[in-house]
A and B are shown apart, each in its own frame.
Chain A
Amino acid sequence: MALWVDKHRPKALQNLDYHNEISERLEAMSNTASLPHLFFFGPSGAGKKTRIQALLKELFGATALKTRLDSRTFETPTKRKIEINMITSSVHIELNPSDAGNYDRYIVQNVIKEIAQNHPLIQNKQVPFKVLIINEVDKLSKQAQAGLRRTMEKYTSVCRIILVGCNQSKVIDPLKSRCLGIRVAAPSIDAIASVLISTGKKESVNVPNELAVQIARMSGRNLRRAILMLESAHTQNPQLDSTVKAPRCDWEEYIVKLAAEVTGEQSPQKLLQAREMLYELLINCIPSSVIMKSLTIELLKNCDDSLKVEVVKWAAFYEGRMNGGKEIFHLEAFVAKFMALYKEYLTNLFG
């Protein structure tokens, strides 16, 4: 009994629900033997991986879907043993080097290079290469990304690389220039709503339009989350009607609470309290960029237009600083900046 989101995932390019122009292009590419390196980017829940899998199926047939877990260990120059997990089929390998944290560049230099050098197991005349999927490429350190440059050029005869990442701007230019970029934008609210309704139909659950749109909005145009929310709502109230409220995730509610605290009072004491809450979020493995984004969206609800500009500016400023290191410093700086701005705004408003 799989979750709906996995159960009803389209397997073929033809079945994809939206972004038809991308599907067409991919289909065209799969018919020629000259697939370029690809870089799929776009927010999570937009359907990047779904499209890649559909593409692989188109290229190699069903063998690409027979995956298994694999792991490889290697030793860093500092004599540390690092294990990296990957998902493999006979025609492709998928891995996530950013799992290794600071050691990601050794993965690029050792594991990926080695994989790229080897010829594919099954000699296929039509498709004479294997595919290497590198996930979360935007989370790779600059050094690791630089390590990919030459590898991508040198072994093109046997290996195509597909990079997947959310944030295009965190990938260095040389890599982007070596790939065909494919932007998988977040689906529109309407697209999500229609997917939700069709999913409901497959599960023989009636999803009212209002609910579908409400969930689509709450999901932040993240289709995966939208479907998961729909299912949660369904588990809670088997009869879905327009009065049903989609449940929020635990961490989202927590961020709403944090925003309320910060807008309620602006003082150093409040900042200390906010710090604790931010720590709590970080401990719960909510990525700092997600915290920043959700918090900003919550905070903006209380601002007028002129203030919004400022707040978004500072959110972007501090978000840009958060790569590795101590994210709490920057989150806190944003909160403090907001407090100062908001306090001034309130004073001007009420005297």
Chain B
Amino acid sequence: MMNFLVKKAPGEKKPSAFASTNKEKRKEPELTESSTESPSKSSPVKKKTKVANSANSPNENNKPQQATVETVDMTLDDSDEYLLGPPPSIKPKPNAAFPKNSRKFIGNDGSDSDDGDFVMDDDANDDDEDFDADSDEDLLPKAKAKPIKKKKVIDVDDSETDDDDVLIVSPKKKPTSPKKTTPKSTPKKATPKKSTPKKPTGPPPKATFTEMSRFDGSARALEGYTFVFTGQLDTMGREDAEDYIKMHGGRVTGGVSGKTSYLVMGTELEDGRPTVEGSKYKKAHGQLEKTTLLENEYELFALTKMLHANVEGDTPAAALAPAPAPAAAKANLYAASSKPSNPYAASIKPSNPYAAASKTAAANPYAKSSSAAANPYAKASNSSSTFSTNSGPPPSSKTPTGGGRADINDRNALWADKYAPSDIKHILGNGGSVKKLTQWINNWEDSFNNPNRKPGRSDSRAALLSGPPGIGKTTTAMLVSEFCGRHVLELNASDARGKKDLEAALGDVLGSQVLSFAPVAKKKKKKRVLIMDEVDGMGAGDRQGMAELIKLIKQSKIPIICICNDRQSQKVRSLANHCLDLKFMRPTKTVIARRAVDIGFHENMDIEPNAAEALAESCGNDIRQVMNALQMWATKAKGKGKAPGERISLKYKEFKDRSGEIGKDEMLRVSMFDAGKMIMEGMRGFSDKSEAEKRLHFLKRNDAYFTDYGMMGLLVHQNYPKVIANHYTNQAKTTEEKQHVANRLADATAAMSDFGVLEQMVRGGDQHWELLTSAAALCVQTGSIAGGPNGGFLPGFPEFPGWLGKNSSKGKHDRLLGELQHHMNVSVNASITEIRSSYIPAFRAKILKLMKDPEGPKMEEVIEMMDLYGLSRDDIFETMDEFCMGKNTDNQKFSNIDSKVKASFTRTYNAGTHKSQALVAEQGVTAKKKKKKVKTEGEEDSGEEGSDDDDDDADALKAFASKKKKKAPAKKKAPAKKAKAKK
């Protein structure tokens, strides 16, 4: 750390020296040079500088270093913190990795190097902060020793400011910042992002409240603070409260941690205990130096008001100086972009390595981008058109890298295409998988096309990428293949992929190489890679496609990348055995939000970080969807008559108000369990709301039913008594109340019974599907009765419906009983019910008595009786045992008869012939054969007298096991049939 700083300081004065010390920085001068080549462009940055009243002649030569340095400086300004703040943003670690990674990646600008972080997602930021915190103490003394140096730096800035750098200006014009300096002991979250005044030491500020009313302040009032809620608030629901925080730029987390600035306490917990008994309270109470307790929401409003005042007070200064230094990890980027004077611009532009492209063309893959403007995400050539909105059509006509997508130069191109990663470094998230895939392709030739080496067992000829849609699996496969220098051959669901088609299309390809006739083509023959997209979509039409694919994989001479959504599907499972299994996860919302903010910036949009996160959340962390939603938002704003140059804003509040238009249907993302919980908790949190809101909530719960209308009823049925039980034990005290709860229970079960009637109408013989909506309403009714007028609380995670399991074992028993009845049918004219309720108990008593006769088991009599009723041995020893209720059933079961008796019984039984018609029809000739076999075994046994009787039993068991096996398929089929029938 110390080192770093020392290097920095000279760097500011002597760019060359600085460059020599840091490889990454070396790039930047080049970049700036190139960016100066287009001075005519009215880049946002430039505008910003004008706003800042300090932009003058475009002498941008020194800008890069200055800018980077600047970021440092600003934090420097703020406090000793600067020692800690800058490094994460400058990312020494990724930089160090650059040389190794090949030069292609050198061109990472500030935001790009964030990508390294993106992979690590949220935690990365936390790490950064931890890092800050740790080093904080270490560096404390040094930092204190630094003031002179700091001053020096600022001086330098000042001297150069005249040249026009916004960033350089900013520290100067930020007189308040030093005052606001927060000492190290202040929680990290708060300090870097927001320079909080009046809080010299200890926990974050806390205002004493005077008014009992809600206060809505600036969108940045709570920025940098983390809030946790516990218990139920008086005037607002949990969701409203979270919205409130987010609207003011704060962060809401679920649990108390070292980074929690405030714990907002409600009056009581959901289950009725006082708030102080909650674990959150206890934890927060244990770390009062970090976390401040707010007794109720009015304290929260008061705090907002106070902080709002601070922010507003800062604004003039802040307008010039981007208060939160871009250096400070994550929130800064966001914050910056939403500010009038955009430090983001400064931090990105100068450090943009792409600009260097024209100079270092040969080495730099971004050379394509002839313009210097920085859009790291846009495919190469479009940067100028996006960045400077007023410029004419893009100068270059370089072909986009992505195969066959919309022309990215097109103004109307989908953002999802336009900002699709063009390099593997830009892929959001799943860094491990991408790396593995790259390695795998690179090693492929060595593993499988190497005559000197036999492929090991663990090597896979194919890779299987699996994960939800919209997270870049196909893109990854394409980019990685390209990166590894291979031709891509893609087959997706739009191609026929039956056995024959695959053979025809791929048979030749898999063993061959590409011949290129292009004149300039490299001498080297290019290898291929086959991408099988959407393999889980290989359906009935693609006859034998999967088997053929597996066969092809086994012989392939080129790597095959298979892509699917559902890793668990039966079809894919067989394939997975032959593949390198790479699972893709959804990137976290923070990661996506950050990228969205960046892209928004390039598209002339100001997106609040919280809004971006909410957007990502509402799209279910689907990047593609987020892009589409953003584009729609932008288009809509333009349609409303915004001037082309005007920046479009996307605020959290706006987003919440209009989220209906954007994003996926909310209920589609809710899991079945969450939806069920929502239904069962009824009016929870809405009891004191207006009628309209209640109505809306009812509709929402109604929608929740359709998350999975096949299961929701069962899920609710399984769990709703627990909601009432919770109320019964925790809240109902008097007999009267208990009685009330008992009545409610009866009402809820009655509603469930109504639901059952309707569901039977829907699924039963007549298929009255039009009643499904009424069934949904009844299910919701069950929940709202269970929840009571104030809503209930379901402790824990909803249990999976037990009915399914019970029903399947009922089906099994029905089938067994049916078999039994079939066997007995000729001699007994009782219905199946009567057989179960009357005959079986009588039979059991009778046979047990005979078998346990004190004078030795009377086997002949038992067998005679069995023959008369057409029962087989299995019927007695296995089927009847299934129908035995109660607790002390052990001595009632045939399987618990002494094994010697059983074995000798089996021998006796098998020795005779049993001519019951049902049995003969079922077992036919095989039964006779088996009989013989068992007999010979029996003889052998008697031959070796004294052999263990248990062995005999084992033999017998074996014989019956084989018989059972024969039946097994039928058994399996039966529940399936049942399930089908139910549907």
Which A residues have a C-beta under 8 Å from some C-beta of B? 1-3, 5-6, 44-45, 49-50, 53, 67-69, 71, 85, 87, 96, 99, 101-103, 105, 135-136, 141-143, 222, 224-225, 228-229, 231-232, 235-236, 247, 249-251, 253-254, 257, 266-269, 271-272, 275, 279-287, 290, 318, 321, 323-326, 328-330, 332-333, 335-337, 339-341, 343-344, 347
Contacts and interface: CB of A to CB of B under 8 A. Distances in A.
B756 A330 contact: yes
Interchain residue pairs A-B with the least CB separation, the first 4: A325-B760, A329-B756, A268-B725, A333-B753
Contacts of B886: 250, 253-254, 257
Contacts of B959: none
Nearest to B829: A49
Contacts of B802: 279
Contacts of A340: 739, 742-743, 745-746
Given A228-B838, A236-B849, A6 B756 contact: no
Contacts of A49: 829-830
Contact of B741 (A87, A268, A281): A268
B892 A250 contact: yes
Contacts of A266: 742
Chain A contact residues: helix, strand, loop or mixed: helix
Best-surrounded residue of A87, A105, A141, A272 (most CB of chain B within 10 A): A272
Given A1-B864, A326-B803, 14 more contacts: A99-B818, A102-B981, A225-B838, A231-B842, A249-B837, A253-B885, A267-B725, A269-B729, A283-B813, A285-B814, A324-B760, A325-B757, A333-B753, A336-B746
Nearest to B864: A1
B749 A336 contact: yes
12 contacts: A5-B842, A45-B834, A49-B829, A96-B831, A143-B765, A235-B845, A249-B837, A283-B813, A333-B749, A333-B753, A340-B743, A347-B735
Contacts of A285: 810, 813-814, 817, 832-833, 836, 883
Interface residues of B, number: 74
B664 interface: no
Contact of A249 (B717, B752, B813, B838): B838
B806 A282 contact: yes
B757 A85 contact: no
Nearest to A78: B980
B759 A326 contact: yes
A228 B839 CA distance: 7
B846 A232 contact: yes
A68 B745 contact: no
Interface string B873-894: 0000000000111100100100
Contact of B826 (A68, A251, A337, A344): A68
A142 B743 contact: no
Interface in B745-787: 745-746, 748-750, 752-753, 755-757, 759-760, 763-766
B186 to A, nearest CB: 49
Contact of B825 (A45, A87, A232, A290): A87
A223 to B, nearest CB: 10
A287 B822 CA distance: 18
Nearest to A133: B829
B533 to A, nearest CB: 33
Given A249-B841, A329-B752, A339 B741 contact: no
A99 to B, nearest CB: 7
A186 B861 CA distance: 33
Contacts of A290: 833, 837
Given A228-B842, A249-B838, A279-B802, A325 B826 contact: no
A211 to B, nearest CB: 16
Best-surrounded residue of B739, B829, B864 (most CB of chain A within 10 A): B829
A333 B750 CA distance: 5
Nearest to B823: A69
Contacts of A343: 738-739, 742
A136 B981 CA distance: 20
Interface string B6-35: 000000000000000000000000000000
Interface in B884-929: 884-886, 889, 892, 917-918, 921
Contacts of A135: 831
B868 interface: yes
A224 B838 contact: yes
B809 A283 contact: yes
Contacts of A96: 831
B41 interface: no
B728 interface: yes
Given A272-B725, A321-B757, A325-B759, A347 B752 contact: no
B80 to A, nearest CB: 59
Nearest to A222: B838
Given A105-B765, A247-B845, A328 B724 contact: no
B413 interface: no
B184 interface: no
Contacts of A279: 802, 806
A332 B837 contact: no
Nearest to B980: A80
B885 A2 contact: no
Contacts of A275: 721
Best-surrounded residue of B756, B868, B883 (most CB of chain A within 10 A): B756
B753 A318 contact: yes
B865 interface: yes
B828 interface: yes
B588 to A, nearest CB: 38
Given A69-B918, A136-B831, A235 B745 contact: no
B458 interface: no
B527 interface: no
A101 B837 CA distance: 20
A74 to B, nearest CB: 15
A325 B756 contact: yes
Contacts of B828: 6
Given A68-B917, A222-B838, A329-B717, A336 B745 contact: yes
A257 B885 CA distance: 11
Contact of B865 (A1, A99, A102): A1
A67 B827 CA distance: 9
B638 interface: no
Contacts of A282: 806, 810
Interface in B546-581: none
Interface string B839-869: 1011101100100000000000100110011
B725 A329 contact: no
Contact of A339 (B725, B745, B883): B745
Contacts of A253: 885-886
B826 A69 contact: yes
B717 A284 contact: no
Given A49-B829, A272-B721, A286-B836, A332 B752 contact: yes
Contact of B883 (A284, A326, A329): A284
Contacts of B884: 250
A135 B868 CA distance: 23
A69 B921 contact: yes
B837 to A, nearest CB: 6
Best-surrounded residue of B748, B837, B849 (most CB of chain A within 10 A): B837
B722 interface: yes
Contacts of B889: 250
Contacts of A335: 749
Contact of B756 (A44, A45, A271, A321): A321
Contacts of B831: 44, 96, 135-136
Contacts of B738: 267, 343
A71 B826 CA distance: 13
A326 B764 CA distance: 11
Given A69-B921, A284-B813, A347 B842 contact: no
Nearest to A278: B806
Nearest to A69: B917
Contacts of B869: 2
Nearest to B735: A347
Contacts of B834: 44-45, 224-225
